[in-house]
Amino acid sequence: MTSQACVRIDHLSFCRGKRKIFDDISLEIPRGSIVGLMGPSGTGKTTLLRLISGQLSPDQGSIFFDDDEINTLSRTKLYQVRKKMGMLFQSNALFTNLSVFDNIAYPLRERADLSEAIIRDIVLMKLQAVGLRGARYLMPSDLSGGMARRVALARAIALDPDLIMYDEPFTGQDPISVGMIVKLMRLLNKNANMTSIIVSHDIEITFGLVDYAFVMAGGKVIGQGKPDELRNSTNEEVRQFLNGLPDGPVPFHYPAKEYITDLMGED
């Protein structure tokens, strides 16, 4: 079976302890698209990216990447499939003891079939793309937040993945850096035809970039559509999220016992 979906999530449920993070969600990410994944903090956006990349396994349901069902793959096959996915982590996750050059070379060296000369060319090409070719001898601790994000991006695209997942790429970036990252995301999507998933709280930037977005809350997909469709949504939860309203159907608190019980010190 060949589908148009790059990622297909089918009736996924996933719990952390007693807490149901996902409750029977299904969604598709079309190949070649840029898709936004939005929702309040703690809804499980990062968790969903980790499920897609096979770092976590669903309790129920399945996740397909192209035609492979991620959670049924052997370790070896999962390892191969993961090379087709690039991930820009919320925390950058650079190796602090490796230089910028070696951070980007790392996934290339892991492949073991590339000569150092080719690795060097690829690393320089990726650094050139993010405007940091001149910074290749620096260590991660010498980088500003914006530079570190761009190095992490260069590393995420080192293997020319089919899918790239960005977890909060704009957080803590100045407007120029945001503009640069947005431009790169568009270029990668268009020229390299990468399917892109963007997790972000920045509604305006994300809506300016994506073809389609999903809004998640309370373990469910509460809204989906093109940016304009979502902006005009009449769904109360979607409106609360998009308009940043503190009061509404989406709870602000992590589930807890009654406040009064806690104050009385009854555990």
Ligand X SMILES: Nc1ncnc2c1ncn2[C@@H]1O[C@H](COP(=O)(O)OP(=O)(O)OP(=O)(O)O)[C@@H](O)[C@H]1O
Q: What are phi and psi of 16, to 5 degrees?
A: -120, 110
Please give the helix or strand (H or E) that residue 127 lies within, else none. Answer: helix 116-129
Q: In terms of CB distance, is 127 or 168 closer to Mg ion?
A: 168
Binding ligand X (rule: CB under 6 A), the pick from 5, 7, 21, 147 is: 21
* 111 binding ligand X? (CB under 6 A): no
* 47 binding ligand X? (CB under 6 A): yes
Q: In terms of CB distance, is 159 or 185 closer to Mg ion?
A: 185
Site for ligand X in 67-96 (CB under 6 A): 90
Token representation of residue 96: 């602090």
Under DSSP, the state recorded for 238 is H
Q: Which of 68, 16, 29 is nearest to 221 (CA)?
A: 29
Binding ligand X (rule: CB under 6 A), the pick from 45, 82, 126, 155 is: 45
d(CA 157, CA 170): 17
Q: In terms of CB distance, is 48 or 122 closer to ligand X?
A: 48
Q: Answer whether 16's CB lies under 8 Å from 203's CB.
A: no
**Binding piece for Mg ion, criterion CB under 5 A, among 5-13, 44-52, 62-70, 255-263:** 44-52
Torsion of CA 95, 167, 48, 67, to 10 degrees: -80
Q: Is 12 helix (H, G, I), strand (E, B) or coil?
A: strand
**Binding piece for ligand X, criterion CB under 6 A, among 38-46, 95-103, 127-135, 189-197:** 38-46
Please work out the total of residues on this chain that contact ligand X, with binding judged by CB under 6 A. 10
* 46 binding Mg ion? (CB under 5 A): yes
